[in-house]
Every structure is written in structure tokens, then in C-alpha cells.
Amino acid sequence: MAEKREYLFDNIKGFIIFLVVWEHFAGVTIRSGSLAGDLLCTAVLLFHMSVMMFVSGYFSKNLGRRNMEYNIRKVLIPYMLITVLVALGEWVVSGRLRLKIFSPGFALWYMLVLFLFRMLLPYLTRVRHVILLSFLVALLSGMFPDVERFSTLGRAFTNLPFFLLGYYCSGEHVEKLRNWMKRPERIIYTTAFVILTFGSAGMAIQNDWDANVYRNNTTYAAAGMSNLLGMECRLLFYLIGCFAILCFLACFSRKRTFLSRAGKNSMVVYFFHIFVYRLIDHIPYISGGSLLNFILVTLLSAATVWLLSMDIWSKIFHIVVNFLGDFCFGKQKS
């Protein structure tokens, strides 16, 4: 019997993966060309991975004894495969072979962090008040220089609270939230979310802050902030992320929509849009913050998500990944 899909989360993932692709494409095309482009990119950065981590945590329940093998098959092997392919692609283009396994660049950090979180889950769940402690550690971690040297470590600290919130969130919690947040509440919370997000993005741009400080890619000092101001900005980042999660859970449809396929195959889109990004980065035809370029980047992002979310690519990808998994562990029992 086929597993019943939760289209609510497919739709959320579909929207988020579009934002991920759009932000990456816009970052090398329209962002530096206009204030509006910079504002939109910064605003998206403030919440899209928070929601993605929440959803990842939500679907990390009940791994049990299969935790180790399952995560190597589903997370680590795909991560290693794409890391090698990206390194080979850069070698072909630039002549330099740099295989960065433990310090992944660009979008691949997410998979390494997800693998780490899932492997640590059996131990994290034994810690009392682990969600509260994870927020505290994330706030304090921006004070230490190791965060800048090992950016994946900083991202792990920053995103762990959202992952744990997703892990401890149940279907019953989602149902209660949707029953409580009727139309007036949804309008109020969504308005607050939009104001907070764009206000924070504008504040970062106006003060010439490194937006990475919100996500713990850099230290507070390196971003030109005092520790107190940095922690205040980080708290704002968490507030925005929580608002985004609440609004998305309450507002997105539970029925199958045009976003559902992209959500179902979001991991394949996430991996392979990296190669499209590399092409765009080396073809400077779309540059500058004009309205036309904004439309072109948006259409290109939508087309990339639509094409890469086709089931054929997912099937091919999983055939390769399953082959590598069977090579490491033997054939899975049906």
C-alpha cells in the first residue's frame, strides 16, 4: 500500500525550494544591482532555511535502530556524491580540484548539518530542556571565532533549535494550530511576519551589517556588532523563523497543488540546482537590478524547479544512490 503523502508539507517544501533556488540565482545576478534586489534576497535569507530545518526535523521522527544506516543511505551518500560531482565540475571549468568534504561550500552545508543532527538525535533527546538550551548555545556561539573558521559548525548551532522544534512538533500540534488560526489570525500573523522580515532586512542593509550574522556564518565582531547587538539580531532571526513556521503551517493547503511535486522531489531540486547556479554564475547576461532582470531570474528559478522536480530525475538519482547504498551495506530487504 502506497504511503499517504502529507501535502501540507509537500506544498511548504515546494515553496521553500523555489525560494532557495531564487535566492541563489538572484545572489549572482540582481542582488548587487539594486536596493530592492538586496532587500528581497536578505529577507528570504532570514527565514527560508529555518522553515526547511523545521520540516527536516518533523520528518526525522521514528528512525529508531535504522538511524545509522538510514542516514548514511539517505543523507550522507547523496551528500558525498554531489560533493564529488561539484568538485569535478569545478575542476573541468577552472582546472582546480578542491574536494571539500568537511567544509562544504554553497548549499551543501545543509546536508552535512542534517546528517549530524539526525545522528545526534538519540543523545539530544535525552537532554532536559534541549530546545531552550539549543537557543542559548546558538546565541552565545556568535561570540566565538571558531564559528567563522568552521562556518558549518555555526550553521549547525543556529539551525538546531528549528530542527528540534520540528522534531517535537506532532500532527496533533499542527491540527490545533490550524484550528486556532482562522482567517483573522492568519492575516495578523502573516502581516507581522512580513513587517518583521522586511524591516530586519532593511535594518541590516541600512547599517551595513553582514546578513550572515543572523545565520551564524560569521561572528558578531566580524559583522561589526557588539555581542549584545549581535544576540539581539539573532533573537530577531529566531522570531522571524518562528513566525514563518506558524504562518506556513496555518496557511498552506493540505490538498495537492502545483507546489506538491516540487516539495516531494525537493532534495533532488536542491542538489541539482547547484549545477544550474554554476552555469549562471559564469554567464553574465543577466546582471543588474532592473525589473526585467528580476522577472527573468524569477522565471528562470521557476523553470529550474519545474524541470528538476520531474519524477524522472528523482528516479535516476535514487537508482544511483540506492546502488551506492547497497554497495556499502548490501541490498535492502523489501
Rounded to two decimals, what is the model's pTM?
0.91
Q: What is the CA radius of gyration of the chain?
A: 20
User: Which stretches in the chain have pLDDT values below 50?
Assistant: 1-2
In this structure, the number of other CB atoms found within 10 A of the CB of residue 326 comes to: 12
pLDDT attached to residue 251 = 92
The rounded distance, in Å, linking the Cα atoms of 166 and 169 is 5
For residue 78 the three cell numbers come to 547523496
pLDDT attached to residue 1 = 40
pLDDT attached to residue 90 = 75
pLDDT attached to residue 2 = 47
* CB-neighbour burial class of residue 138 (10 A; exposed 0-12, middle 13-18, buried 19+): buried
Domain assignments of the chain as residue spans, ordered by start: 7-326
